[in-house]
Structure 1
Amino acid sequence: METRLLKYFLTIAQTGTISQASRELHVTQPTLSRQLKTLEDELGTELFIRKQRQMILTNAGVQLQTDAKQILSMLTQAKTRVQETDNKIVGTIAIGCIESNAANLLAQTIKRYHKQFPGVKIELYDLDSTDIQERLDQGLLDLGIVLKPSETAKYYVKDLQLKDSWGLVVSKSAFLKKEDISKVELRSVPIFITRNNLIQAEMTTLLGIPLSELHIVGKQNLVSNSLYLAKNQTAYPLCAKGAFIGDTNDLKFLPLKDADLIEQQVIWSKQRKVSDIIQNFIDLLVSEDQKNY
Structure 2
Amino acid sequence: MELRTLRYFLELARRGSFTAAANALNLTQPTLSRQMQELEAEVGAPLLVRGKRRTALTDAGKYLADRAAEILELAERTRNSLSAAGGEIRGDVSIAGGETRAMRLVARAVKKTRDSHPGIRFHIFSGNAEAVSERLEKGLADFGIFVGQANLAGFDHVRLPVGDVWGLLLARGHPLAAREAIAPADLAGVPLLCSAQAVADNELGGWLGEAAAHLEIAATYTLLYNASLLVREGVGAAVCINGIADVSEGSGLVFRPFRPALVVGLALAWKKGRSFSPAATLFRQRLLGEIGGEGGGIQD
TM range (shorter): 0.7 to 0.9
* Amino acid in the other structure paired with 1:93: V
Is the Cα contact below 8 Å between 1:150 and 1:198 reproduced in 2?
no
Do the aligned partners of residues 255 and 139 (structure 1) sit closer, same or farther apart at CA in structure 2, a change above 3 Å counting?
same
Mapped pair 1:205 → 2:212: no
2:270 to 268, 271, 282: 268
Tell me which residue corresponds to 1:231.
232
Tell me which residue corresponds to 2:39.
43
TM-score (norm 1): 0.79
Is the Cα contact below 8 Å between 1:16 and 1:56 reproduced in 2?
no
1-structure distance, mates of 2:230, 2:59: 33
Tell me which residue corresponds to 2:159.
159
Tell me which residue corresponds to 2:43.
none
Structure 1, gaps ≥5 residues long: none
* Amino acid in the other structure paired with 1:238: V
1-structure distance, mates of 2:293, 2:52: 56
Is the Cα contact below 8 Å between 1:5 and 1:35 reproduced in 2?
no
Number of equivalent positions = 287
2-structure distance, mates of 1:32, 1:224: 46
Is the Cα contact below 8 Å between 2:192 and 2:216 reproduced in 1?
yes
1-structure distance, mates of 2:229, 2:31: 41
TM-score (norm 2): 0.78
Tell me which residue corresponds to 1:281.
283
**Secondary structure in 1 aligned to 2:104?**
helix
2-structure distance, mates of 1:215, 1:58: 40
Deviation at 1:153, TM superposition (A): 0.2
Q: Aligned Cα RMSD in Å?
A: 3.6
Alignment of 1:143-222 (within 5 A): 143-175=143-175, 178=178, 180-183=180-183, 184-196=185-197, 200-206=201-207, 210-222=211-223
Structure 2, gaps ≥5 residues long: 41-45, 296-300
Tell me which residue corresponds to 2:90.
90
Percent sequence identity over aligned pairs: 25
1-structure distance, mates of 2:186, 2:243: 22
Do the aligned partners of residues 144 and 39 (structure 1) sit closer, same or farther apart at CA in structure 2, a change above 3 Å counting?
farther
Mapped pair 1:128 → 2:128: yes
Do the aligned partners of residues 40 and 168 (structure 1) sit closer, same or farther apart at CA in structure 2, a change above 3 Å counting?
farther
2-structure distance, mates of 1:34, 1:234: 55
